[in-house]
Structure 1
Amino acid sequence: MNIHVAPKAQADAYAAFLARKAILDPPTGLTDVPDLPAVLFPFQRDIVTWALKRGRAALFAGTGLGKSFMELAWGQAVNKSTQGDVLHFAPLAVAAQMVREAEKFGIPARHVRTQDECGVGHNFYSPEVNVTNYQKIDAFDLTQFSGVILDESSILKSETGHYRNELVDACHGIPFRLAATATPAPNDFMELGNHAEFLGIMSYSDMLATFFTHDGGETQKWRLKGHAENDFWRWMASWAVMLRKPSDLGYDDGAYELPALHQIHHTVTAPVAVGDLVGGRASTLQERIKARRESVDDRVAFAAAMTPIDRPFVWWCNLNAESEALTKAIPDAVEVRGSDKEDVKERKLIDFSEGRIRVLVTKPSIAGFGMNWQHCADTGFVGLNDSFEQIYQAVRRFYRFGQQNEVTAHFIAAETEGAVVANLKRKEADADRMAAAMVLHTANITKQAINAQARENASYDPKIPMQIPTWLGGAA
């Protein structure tokens, strides 16, 4: 029996088919990738090659997997291929660290603070990657660059954040864009939308409308549509690589095995007025803030007493009162404050990196992103807030590939702050589940794309002389 399908239904079905196909963002990058640094590991080389061919890509790789090296190699290749300048953004003090990393790997790079220090400031091509920090963004005309790299791109986290909006607006016409972070969305899918919008793949609002639905009646809570889940992961894998270790993409982990991480929670007894807290524990935000402020002296005394005297240590604080008191209580401690001038902050962070400061006291919001501190294996939080991402990133300054010792992270909280600790543990569990889901759903798709680069890049290197049959040899 023949079934007649109305022309309109056919057209609608075909339009829907095209719409589904269009969800995957097409590559717009290099067709001929230049030689990459020989010291890249195979998984790094294949990821960089894939990202260069993509043109606009995100690299969500675990701490210590060589994101800085991959970013620099990507920037050098864009620089070579386009004869245009590349601007590499990094957090404060990380810019100087990035230039040192580049020198170690033989990649030309320079620390710049204004447009005039770049080649484009003088209308000539410069064979170097220009590295600066996010705080200097207003000193550059981003439309003059061929490529832009965002190191620690979780700076795009807030939909209404200053840097997020300025970067999205200023970079929309730049053909080569790379965003790299270890925590694209530690417990929130929405941050992926900010990355997609920065890369020009899909707007934040379009991502929500396409793949998500409101969770119940709360407009701020979104969840993946059941029927759109596979399409969402396929879409994400078309422009982002997610891995926690090389074996996630089928490579040998080799040296990428970490020693143990010990997270030790300490509870400090702090006096609280009877009746101030229900059940003696803070639950609301106002109560948690009150509990933190009233327990500063007790927590600081506990932290100072347990600080080792024979090895590097970093104390992370939440309140100025905590960092001021702790710096006074530890004889050789140096504090990095938000009110310090940028060059002072940078100098102190570099001094700790290079061993001239033994005990550093600061906040995760100041130094919790980007620094490589594998020389230190002990850290602690004398003050906590509800940001899991800040704590995750702060611990990963030490607990990262390349760390040779077991890492110990201490968490000090007053007994009245029980809700804060419980909330952080819940967020950590949520983040672990989400990271596992992201790898699980994208690994096979990404393997096909990344491993294809290895097949395309395989060089012909014959070792055995070819023997020509006598019947093809002709007359001698």
Structure 2
Amino acid sequence: MKDYETFLNRKNEIMMSAGIEGDLTLNPKLYDFQRDIVRWALFKGRAAIFADCGLGKTIMQLEWAHQVHLYCGGDVLILAPLSVTEQTKREGQAFGIAVQVCESQADVVPGINITNYEKLAKFDATHFKGVVLDESSILKSFTGKVRTAIIDAFRGCRYRLACTATPAPNDYMELGNHAEFLDVMSRNEMLATFFVHDSGNTSKWRLKRHAEDIFWQWMAGWSVFMDNPKSLGYEVTGYDLPPLNIHEIIVDGDIAIDEALTLTERRKARKDTLDLRCQAAADLINASDDQWLVWCDLNAESQGLYDRIEDSFQVRGSDKAQYKMDIMSEFSDDLVKCLITKPSIAGFGMNWQQCHKMVFVGLSDSYEKYYQAMRRCWRFGQDQPVDVYIIISAREGAVKSNIERKETDAKKMQEATIEYTKEITKNNLKQTARMVTPYEPEVMMSLPDWEEFYESA
């Protein structure tokens, strides 16, 4: 046992800071907790900010990128979901930080540049001194080939930042994607060091019980977890979530819920009740004067909703990028009454606190997509109770119960993660917050002539 602890301690190499030190003048519009996190992330050089929705990850990553540019004089690239690029530019303007939206390397300007993940191949990664992954959990949604391409492209980049609210929505092992991107430890090495393979399930790894403390010390060495600034001792106002009201509408309530349906049977039930679900959503929205956000998963659902809902716009995967950004910007400005889209298109990163009515016309099995989509409106800064309507078939009951189970598991994991890392994170942020510019004397110190002193004595 002692030999094993020695082995773990040897593997527990907290990432050496490779970043920017000194008394930095950060954006005065940052809250204290945001300022401390940015200063810490700059000091680390390669770090992750795992902060919940509405805590200001965008302004933190923009200020981080701005300081990297000022420090090294090179350009910084932000990779983000397509839906978020224009919003990031607008938020940058509000904080006095210029952001260039780019289609390819030819569009890059000195300073901060942003593009969507799918366009990475059009850029020269070696040109950039710093890189930010916005909504970095999206990495696991890509194929292994693309995820590896992103990690490999920036392996030589000194300054790296990853930001997301859901780094590991269902499993700690998913944290390995971030560790590998930041060059802290490869995903396979992380699993071998801190986890054990579950013999009952070949795809599952569980944290070794006797390695828990060391694992969380290691995590806190390169990442910050935060659900609310108050949990880390910050006294701030405005960071209280409004009430969340979940309403369930079952369109074929006379049919008994069958939890044992196969995936194929659930898909058939979803197609069979498509018209009923779309009409139920339309009846709800057409009778209201509020702004609505409608989530669907099938193209046929999107079209059915668009045909039935008055003053609605749909954003589909096949739409041109500029159209998608224009419609979502208009929705942000409350110029669109009803937006119909998919979580895979707009479920990550958008700040839609102006809207407090939402409909899911059916559910997929992905808890992360459901959580992220819901948090577009139910987030810090929302000043209204949020109503979420879930319209499903009774035969989809297994999907809903599966999402609820994952939600319970994810909450437990988030609470445990924050509890484990809270004290270490507090100390880390306080240490970097107290950093000052190194003393650099400008007047030469003169010393007495001791030999002359002793002779006169």
For normalisation by structure 1, the TM-score amounts to: 0.88
Q: Deviations over 1:82-131 (max 9, x none)?
A: 11100011111311110111110011222122112224xxxxxx2x2112
Deviation at 1:33, TM superposition (A): 5.4
Question: Where does residue 290 of structure 1 map in the other structure?
Answer: 268
Which structure 2 residues correspond to residues 8-407 of structure 1 after superposition, within 5 A? 16=7, 19-22=10-13, 24-32=14-22, 34-119=24-109, 126=110, 128-158=111-141, 160-269=143-252, 280=258, 283-307=261-285, 308-407=287-386
TM-superposed CA distance for 1:14, in Å, is 11
Q: Spell out, residue by residue over 1:320-370, the C-alpha distance to the aligned partner (whole angstroms, 9 max, x if none).
A: 111111110112111111111212212211121122211011110111011
Whole-Å separation in 1 of the counterparts to 2:358 and 2:425: 35
Change (3 A) 1:27 1:41: same
Q: How far apart, in 2, do the equivalents of 1:135 and 1:441 lie?
A: 35
**Structure 1 residue 259, shift from structure 2 partner:** 1.1
Alpha carbons 2:12, 2:218 under 8 Å: kept: no
SS at match of 2:202: strand
Structure 2 CA distance for aligned equivalents of residues 46 and 56 of structure 1: 15
CA deviations 1:292-347 (Å, max 9, x no partner) are 11111111111111114311101100111111111101121111111112122122
**Distance in 2 (alpha carbons) for counterparts of 1:390 and 1:17:** 35
SS state at 2:435 partner = helix
Structure 2 vs 1, CA of residues 357 and 13 (structure 1 numbering), >3 Å: closer, same or farther? closer
Coordinate RMSD, CA, aligned: 2.1
* Aligned amino acid, residue 281 of structure 2: A
Distance 1:290 1:397, change over 3 A: same
Q: Distance in 2 between matches of 1:396 and 1:17?
A: 38
8 Å contact from structure 1 (residues 364, 391) kept in 2? yes
Secondary structure at 2:245 match in 1: strand
Which runs of structure 1 show a deviation greater than 3 angstroms over 4 or more consecutive aligned residues?
12-18, 158-163, 279-282
Deviation at 1:187, TM superposition (A): 1.3
Q: Does the aligned pair in 2 maintain the 1:282–1:291 contact within 8 Å?
A: no
Residues paired across the two proteins, number: 436
Give SS of 2:246's match.
strand
Deviations 1:203-225 (A, max 9, x none): 01001000101122322011001
Question: 1:281 Cα deviation (Å)?
Answer: 5.1
Task: Give the alignment partner of residue 427 of structure 1, picking from 403, 406, 412.
Answer: 406
Give unmatched runs, 5+ long, in structure 2. 439-457
For residues 317 and 74 of structure 1, do their structure 2 counterparts lie closer, same or farther at Cα, with a shift above 3 Å needed? same
Match of 1:439 in 2: 418
Q: Quick one: distance in 1 between partners of 2:349 and 2:146?
A: 17
Residue pair 1:158, 1:191 contacting (<8 A) in 2 also: no
Q: Cα distance, 1:258 vs. partner?
A: 1.7
Name the CA distance, whole Å, in 2 between partners of 1:188 and 1:170: 26
How far apart in 2 are the matches of 1:14 and 1:266? Answer: 53
Matched-pair contact (CA < 8 Å) for 1:351–1:357:
yes
Measure the CA separation in 2 of the matches of 1:328 and 1:14.
63
Deviations 1:36-92 (A, max 9, x none): 111111110110000001010000001111100000000000000011100011111
Deviations 1:123-158 (A, max 9, x none): xxx2x2112221221111111100000111111225
2: CA distance, partners of 1:267 / 1:300: 12
Gap change, CA 1:63 and 1:334, over 3 Å in 2: same
The verdict on how the C-alpha distance between 1:48 and 1:245 changes in structure 2, with shifts beyond 3 A counting, is same
Distance 1:230 1:280, change over 3 A: closer
Distance apart, 1:19 and its partner CA = 1.2
AA aligned opposite 1:182: A
The 10-residue stretch of structure 1 (104-113 or 59-68) with the greater mean CA deviation from structure 2: 104-113
Secondary structure at the aligned position of 1:93 is classed as helix
Distance 1:243 1:96 in 2: 26
1 CA distance for matches of 2:351 and 2:4? 52
Unaligned runs of at least 5 residues, structure 1: 1-9, 120-125, 460-476
Distance 2:266 2:7 in 1: 50
Q: Could you tell me whether the CA contact under 8 Å between 1:270 and 1:295 is conserved in 2?
A: no
Mark the CA change 1:31 to 1:408 in structure 2 (over 3 Å): closer, same or farther: same
For residues 9 and 354 of structure 2, what CA distance do their matches in structure 1 show?
53
Amino acid in the other structure paired with 1:362:
T
Q: What secondary structure is seen at the aligned counterpart in 2 of 1:219?
A: coil
- Is the alpha carbon distance of 1:418 and 1:14 closer, same or farther for their aligned partners in structure 2, counting shifts above 3 Å? closer
Query: Which range moves more in the overlay, 82-91 or 253-262?
Result: 253-262
Contact 1:111 1:130 in 2 (8 A): yes
Alignment deviations for residues 407-443 of structure 1 (CA, whole Å, 9 cap, x no partner): 1111111111111111010011001001001100000
Q: Distance in 1 between matches of 2:6 and 2:422?
A: 30
